[in-house]
Amino acid sequence: MTVRTVCSEVLGEDPGFRKSCLKSVLGAFRSCFWAPAAHLKKEEVKMDCSVENCALVHGISSVKLTNLTNSKQVYDTLHLRSQPIACNSHCCCGSLVSGQSGARPPGSARPPQEMLQQAKEFLEQYYVSRKSETLEEYFKRWEEIKAEVEKFSIYNLTSEELAFGAKLAWRNASRCIGRIQWRNLEVQDARHVQTTGEMYEALCHHLEYATNGGSLRSMITIFPPRRNGQEDFRLWNPQLLNYAGYFQADGSVVGDPANVQFTRVCQRLGWNGKGGRFDILPWIVSAPGEGPKVYEVPEELILRVKLEHPCFEWFEEMGLEWYAVPAVANMLFDCGGMEFPAAPFNGWYMSSEIGARDLCDPHRYNITEEVALKMGLDTTSPTTLWKDRVLVEINISVLYSYQKQNVTIVDHHTAAQTFMKHMENEQKQRGGCPADWVWIVPPISSSVTPVFHQEMLNYILKPSYEYQEKAWKEFDWKQISNVVLKYKFASVAKALWFYSFLMAKVRMNKIRAKILYASETGKAEMFARRLGRLLENSFNTTVICMEDYNIEDLTQESLFIVVCSTFGSGDPPHNGKCFWRLLSKLKKEDVASLSHVKFGVFALGSSQYPAFCNFGKNVDQTLVSLRAERLLTMGLGDDLRGQEQTFNKWVKELYKVACNSYNLTVADNFSRIFLESANKWDKDQFRTIAVEGIVHDLCPDLTIVHNKNIQPCRVLSRVRLQPKYSERQTILVRLNTEKATNFTYEPGDHLGVFPVNPSSVVNRIIAFMDPFERLEENIIKVETLVDGSWQQYNRLPPCTIRTALSRYLDITTPPAPTLLEQLASTAEDKCDQDRLKQLCEDVEEYESWKMFKYPSLADVLEQFPSTHVSAAFILTQIPLLQPRYYSISSAPKAKENEIHLTVSLVKFCTEDGKGPRRFGVCTSYLDSLPGHDVYCFIRSTQTFRMPTDRSLPIIMIGAGSGIAPFRSFWQQRELELKEQGNTDIKNQKMPTSFGEMVLFFGCWKSGVDTIYEYELSSLVDKGILHKVYYAFSTQPGKEKKYVQDVLKEEFQLVIRLLSESGHVYVCGNAVMANDIRKALKIILRSSQSEEEDSEEHFERLLAENRYHEDVFGVLHPHHKKKL
Ligand SMILES: Cc1cc2nc3c(=O)[nH]c(=O)nc-3n(C[C@H](O)[C@H](O)[C@H](O)COP(=O)(O)OP(=O)(O)OC[C@H]3O[C@@H](n4cnc5c(N)ncnc54)[C@H](O)[C@@H]3O)c2cc1C
Ligand SMILES: Cc1cc2nc3c(=O)[nH]c(=O)nc-3n(C[C@H](O)[C@H](O)[C@H](O)COP(=O)(O)O)c2cc1C
C-alpha cells in the first residue's frame, strides 16, 4: 500500500477535497502504518485501524511469539512487510552465516522499476516518520525521484533521508543485540568523495569520532552508491580494525587466524606487516578507476586495550590486547533501492564477542587451554568444565580491562536485558521486531539470559545491511601489476605534518571549543588563530571574532577560550565592545549559569597603561561570576615584555589542561612540537603564481582585506601648526570626502587611515629577493596546499610584490619573535640561525634588541644576510599593515565635505637617540601628499561624545596633538550657537542653554607648541570657550608644569563644574591619561562628602558616563629625548 493509494481511496480525485483532507489523512496513514498491533489479536487490529480501506490491515496474518519464562505472548505483524527470504519448504537456512543476503553483484545499479518500487516504499516510511511533512511534500519528492531515476537510472537521497535510512537499517538488523541504540547512530555522509585518498580521510574521521577517547559513539560512513558501468567504492577490510594473521611454514598462525586470507591480500598489495600477534591491518580501499590502495591506519587513532585480570596477575603477562572499536566494514547498505557497497558502521563491544569468540574460538586466538593451564585446571576431562570456567574468567578480564581504561563495553547479561526492552518497544511501536535467535543469544551462559527463552521471528526489512562478496574476490587482479604502499613516511617531520593534517581533517563532532578574539591591531586575532590550530587537533574548534558571536550561544559552549586585547583606557577593542555590553548584561541580570562551560582567557595589553589588560581581566572575572569553570589562570601578554613567549607558554599549558579535563590523551610534548612546527616556515605549503589581468583597484581590495568601509579622501592641504624651527612638528591635514560614500561622523569620532610604506624600505626588501621574483610588473597570487591540491590562499588580493610591500604589509614595525623564528628557518648561515633563535627565545634579549634598534624588516634582512625571503614567504607571513587612527579635528557641518586631522609627525633616532633617524609611516605619508587620495574609514567612538544636554559644562584636557578631538567640539559648539542666531556673542553672556566649556592644554613651549593659539583666543574672545588653561613643560626659565598640575591648581573650577553635572574629556597618551586620573582623584578628595570618598566619586563619574578618555597610545621612552 502506498500513500497515494490511501489518498485516492479515501479522498477520491477531487483536488479541493483532497487538499483540505491532506493533513488528517496523513495522520490516519501514520497510525495505520505503525499500528500498535502487539497486544492485539488479528481481529482487534482490524477494528482498531482508522482507515477502512487499508490493504495492509486487511492482509494481516500475525504470528504468535511466546516468552517461555513468563508465558507472555505477542503477535508479530511487522513480518508482513518482509522481503522474501531464502528458506524454502524443505529447509530452514536460518543458521547460515551468509544469512539471507539480497546483495547483488557490482557494476550495475538496480533496474529502474525495482529501484522505484523500493524508493517508494522507503519514501513512505520516511514521510510517515516526519510528522511535520505534508503529503504535498511527499508527492513532490516522489515526482523528483521518478524524474531522476528516469534520467540517470539512480537518484540522490537527501541527507535526511540517508540518515533516516541508515538508522532504520540498524533497527531492522535482525542479528544485532544492541539495537536499542538505533536512534543514536551518527551518519557521516561521504557520498561526495571521489578518490581513495578522500575515502581514507573519511575513515580516519570515522575512527576518531567513534573512539572518542574511549567513550565510544556509533557511526556509519556512507560512500557513493553503486552506479551502472562503474566499479564500486569498496572498503576491503572485514572490520575497520582487524589484527593481521600471518601464516607460518609449520601451518600455525601468528595473529588472528580469521584474517589470514585478507592479510595475504594486503601483502600482495605491498603491505609488510611486522609479523606480530596484534598488528592492525591497513585499510584497503578502492574507488572507480583507481583500483585498490593501501593506507596505514594512523596508530594515533587506534585505541588498544591491554587485557588484565582483577585476580590473576599472570594474565597481563600473556600480552593480550583487543581494540576498542568494533566496526563492520564490508557490508552493503541497501536503502530506498540504492545500494551503497562501502558503508562501514560501528557500535561497541559486548564482552563475550571478545572474551568468548575472538579469543577462545578454536579457529581464532584459541587461548582457552593456555589460560586453563595457567589457572591450574584439569583439562583432561570435559567434565571438569574447565572450558566454561576459562570462558568466564576471560570474559571477566575483558570487562575489567575495558572498564578500567574507560572504554565503553557491555556485558552479555545487560545486553540481553536491553534487547528484551527493545523488543517490547518495537512490538508496541511497529508490531514486531525481526530477530535472529541464533545470533541474538550470547555465546556464553545463554540460558541464564532472558533472550534465550524468547521466541523470535527472523525476517528481512528494508533498508538493510547486506552481506556481499569479498572485494578481493570480485576484483580483477590482472589490472594491477605493481601496487605500492600509498603512505610511507620518509621522516619524522613528514609524519608529524601528516598527523596534524590528518587530525585537522577529522575534527568534526569532537568536543566543541570556541575561541573568541577581540583585537584592535590584529595581534589577538593572530594568537587566537594559532591557538585554534593547536586545539583543532583534539577539539572541534571554531575561531570567531567577538563581534560575530551570538551571545545566546554562550550557554551551549563546552570549552570557551577568549583572546583579547585592551584599548582606549582599559576598554575593549572596537570589535569586542558589543560582546562586552551583552556579557555584562548577563552578569547583571544573573540570567545565565555557565557551570558546564570550561574557559580560559588570554589578555593582551601593555603594562605602560594604567588599566593593564583590563578588558581581558573583566571578561575573566565575569565568566567566573557566571559560574563558568576557569581551566587555567588568565594569561597576561605584555607588549613590553615577551608577549608572544608568554602566549606560547600559556597555550601549551591550556592545551594540556583542556585535554586532561575532557579525558583526552595527548602526547606530552605534542603542544611543544606543534608550536615549534607551526612557527617554522614550510615553503612547500605555499606557491605564487603570476596571473594575467589588470591591476586591481586598491580601495575595494583594502575593504575586503580589512572588512571595513574604506573610502578615498583627497588631501586638500596640510598646514604646519608650529614654526619651522620647532623640534616637533604638528600638521593640520584637510581631507576632501566628496568621493566617499556613507562617510558620516560626529565630533569625537576617529578617522582610520591606511598609510603607504616608504619606498626606501620596500626597495631594500625587494633587493633581497630572488631576481626572477622581483619582476615588478607581475601580478601574483598565492596558493596553498590543502589535502594534496593547490587552493587559492585568500589573505591578499592578486597584486604585484611592490604593491603588497607598500600597501598591505607591515614592514617597518620590528618583526615579532615568531617571524624571526620563521626567518631563522630560512637562514643558511649557522651564526644567523643561532642569533635569530636566541632573539626569539630570550625575552630580555629580544626586547632590548627591539628597543635599541627598532629594526624594520629590511634592517633584519640586512643584519642576517643569509636568510631567504621568497615572494610566498612575504605574502603569507608578514603581518598586515594596520590603519592609523586620528581623532577627527573638525565638526561635520563646519566645512561641508571636509575632515580635518591634527597630526603630530613621528620622527626619532634609534639606538638611544644616537642611531639612524626614523619617520613614522603614516605621519610622513600624510605630510607628503597634497592632491593625492588617502584610503580611510570612520571609526565611531560612542564613548567620546559631547553631552546631549548642551547645558552641561565641558572640561577638555589634552596635551600635544591630544587637542585634536576638542577642535571638533568647539567647532560644533560654534555652529550650534550660530544656528540659534548667536552669530557674534562677543561681549555677550553665553546663552544659558549652553554649558561652560574650558580647555586645559599641555604644551612644551609657549609660542612654539601652542597650536591653534589664534583660533583658541578668538573663541575665548567670542565667549564660545570660557577659558584656556595652558601648561608648559619645557618653558625656558620656568618650572615644569604638566597639564595635571594646572588642573590641580584650578581645583575649585573643576569641582564647581563637576557639581553642575559637568563632563570631563581627556585626550593624549596613556601616561598623561593616567596622571589626569590621579589628579582628578586628588581634586575630588577635597570635595569629599561623608557618604562618598574620592575613588567612589570617580567611579560614579565613570558610571554616569561623565568621564571620557581618548587614548592615543603609549609614550615611548625615547620621546623625551631630544632629536
Ligand atoms: C584612537 C587614537 C587616536 C589617535 N589620534 C591621533 C591624533 O589625533 N593625532 C596624532 O598625531 N596621532 C593620533 N594617534 C596616533 C596615531 O594613530 C599614530 O600612532 C601616529 O600618528 C604614528 O603613526 P605613524 O605611522 O606615523 O608611526 P609608526 O610608523 O607607526 O611609528 C610609531 C611607532 O614608532 C615607535 N616610536 C615612536 N617614537 C619612538 C622613539 N622616539 N623611539 C623609538 N621608537 C619610537 C613606537 O613604537 C611607535 O608605536 C591616535 C591613536 C589612536 C589609537
Ligand atoms: C591606543 C591604545 C590604547 C591602549 N590601551 C591599553 C590599555 O588601556 N591597557 C592595556 O593593557 N593595553 C593597552 N594598549 C596596548 C594594546 O592592548 C596592546 O598593544 C595589544 O598587544 C594590542 O593587541 P591587538 O593587536 O590584538 O589589539 C593600548 C594600545 C593602544 C594603541
Cell digits of residue 646: 608568554
Q: Is residue 179 annotated as part of the catalytic site, yes or no? A: yes
pLDDT of residue 611: 85
Position 676 scores a pLDDT of 60
Tell me the best of 523, 721, 731, 884 to mutate to test the pocket of ligand 1, counting ligand atoms within 8 Å of each CB and taking the most.
884
Ligand 1: centre distance to CA 271 (Å)? 63
737-771 residues labelled b (16+ CB within 10 A) or e (exposed) = beebeebebbbbbbbbbbbbbbeebbebbbebbee
Q: Which value, to the nearest 10 degrees, does the dihedral of the CA atoms of residues 567, 568, 570, 571 take? A: -70
Q: Taking the CA atoms of the chain, what radius of gyration do you get in angstroms? A: 38
Reported as a single tens digit per residue, the pLDDT across 916-930 is 899 999 999 999 877
Ligand 2 pocket (Cβ < 6 Å) reads 519-524, 565-570, 573, 604-606, 609, 611-614, 639, 1111-1113
Q: How far is the CA of 1088 from the centre of ligand 1 (A)?
A: 38
Phi, psi of 568 (to 5 degrees): 60, -125
Burial string for 108-119 (b: 16+ CB within 10 Å, else e) reads ebbebeebbebb
d(CA 460, CA 451): 20
pLDDT for the residue 811: 97
Concatenate the DSSP letters of all residues of 392-408 into one string.
HHHHHHHHHHHHHTT--
Q: Report the 10 Å Cβ neighbour count for 834.
A: 12
Tell me the sheet residues that pair with 638. 605, 642
Closest ligand 1 atom to 907 CA:
38
Task: Measure the CA–CA gap between 1069 and 32, rounded to whole angstroms.
Answer: 78
| Residues 163-221: tens digit of each pLDDT | 999 999 999 999 999 998 899 999 999 999 999 999 999 999 999 999 998 889 999 99
Intra-chain end-to-end CA distance of the chain, in Å: 94
The SS3 assignment for 110 reads coil
Q: Tell me the best of 613, 634, 639 to mutate to test the pocket of ligand 2, counting ligand atoms within 8 Å of each CB and taking the most.
A: 639
The predicted pLDDT at position 492 comes to 33
The total number of residues shown for the chain amounts to 1123
Atom 46 in ligand 1: residue holding the nearest Cα: 1116
Q: DSSP secondary-structure letter at 900?
A: E
- What the block records as the C-alpha cell of 714 is 583627497
Residues 602/1069, Cβ–Cβ less than 8 Å: no
Alpha carbon distances (Å) from 23 to 27, 48, 129, 324, 430? 6, 20, 14, 47, 22
Phi-psi map region of 237: left, alpha, beta (phi>0 left; psi -120 to 50 alpha): beta
Q: Distance between CA atoms of 576 and 1063, rounded to whole angstroms? A: 25
Pocket of ligand 1 (CB under 6 A): 750, 755, 812, 854, 884-887, 902-904, 906, 908, 920-923, 961, 964, 1112-1113, 1116, 1118-1119
CB distance 757 to 903 below 8 Å:
no
Helix (H/G/I), strand (E/B), else coil: 1122: coil
What pLDDT does residue 247 have?
87
- The number of beta carbons lying within 10 Å of the beta carbon of residue 1046 is 18
- DSSP three-state, residue 196: helix
Pocket test for ligand 1, best of 885, 924, 926 (most atoms within 8 A of CB): 885
Distance 566 CA to ligand 2 centre (A): 5
DSSP output for 372-434: HHHHT---S-GGG-HHHHHHHHHHHHHHHHHHHTT--EE-HHHHHHHHHHHHHHHHHHHS--B
Q: b/e map of 586-603 (b: 16 or more CB within 10 Å)? A: bbeeeebebeebbbbbbb
Nearest-CA residue for ligand 1 atom 42 is 1118
Other CB atoms closer than 10 Å to residue 132's CB: what's the count? 5
Say what the pLDDT of residue 233 is. Answer: 96
Query: 806-832 as b/e, with b when 16 or more CB fall inside 10 Å?
Result: bbbbbbbbbbbbbbbbbbbbbbeeeeb
Q: What whole-number distance in Å separates Cα of residue 815 and Cα of residue 811?
A: 8
Ligand nearest to the CA of 637: 2
Q: What is the pLDDT of residue 679?
A: 64
CA of 824 relative to ligand 2 center, distance in Å: 28
C-alpha–C-alpha distance, residues 648 and 634, integer Å: 13
**Residue with C-alpha cell 596622571?**
1075
Distance CA(1106)–CA(954), nearest Å, equals: 9
565 alpha carbon – ligand 2 mean position (Å): 6
- The pLDDT assigned to 672 comes to 61
Instruction: Quote the ligand 2 centre to 522 CA distance (angstroms).
Output: 11
Question: Catalytic site residue 353?
Answer: yes
Q: Do 417 and 64 form a contact (C-beta atoms < 8 A)?
A: no
Q: What is the rounded CA–CA span in Å between residue 311 and residue 162?
A: 47
Regions of the chain short of the pLDDT cut 70: 1-60, 98-103, 131-133, 479-509, 590-592, 665-679, 693-695, 774-776, 787, 982-992, 1088-1091, 1114-1123
For ligand 1, atom 32, which residue shows the shortest CA distance? 920
176 is a catalytic site residue: yes
Question: Bridge-partner residues for 790, per DSSP?
Answer: 785
How far is 438 from 175, CA to CA, in rounded Å? 8
